[in-house]
Amino acid sequence: EKPDLTKIALMLVILYISLKLVNMLVQSVLFWVRLAFRITFWGGLVVLAFWLSQRGVDGAAEDVSYWIRLWKGELEHYKSQAEQIAYQHSHGYG
């Protein structure tokens, strides 16, 4: 049984409508993702401006310096733990 022209046309119409619906879904998801990124970006700028206005440039620099020192200390701590674990595993302790 060969498909006639109406069945082929109906399948093409269904395919076209399906692709349009998928495109609408993709566009709506992209809208919400873009909106979330924009809100995050502009909100971050507002928070940064508020932080700078409250602490001043010198205070903000002190805060950043403190956080960098703290993160470097944590990094060194975790590196030393990793080296200790690697040493124990290589010498048969674990």
33-47 burial, b if ≥16 CB within 10 A, otherwise e?
eeeeeeeeeeeeeee
Q: Kindly state the average pLDDT of the residues 73-94.
A: 89
pLDDT for res 88:
87
Q: Kindly state the average pLDDT of the residues 16-23.
A: 98
pLDDT for res 90:
87
List the structure tokens of 61. 């620099």
Measured from the Cβ of residue 51, the count of other Cβ atoms closer than 10 Å reads 13
| DSSP single-letter state for residue 91 | T
Q: Kindly state the average pLDDT of the residues 3-27.
A: 95
List the structure tokens of 36. 């979330």
pLDDT in tens, 20-69: 999 999 999 999 999 999 999 999 999 999 999 999 999 999 999 999 99
pLDDT for res 94:
56
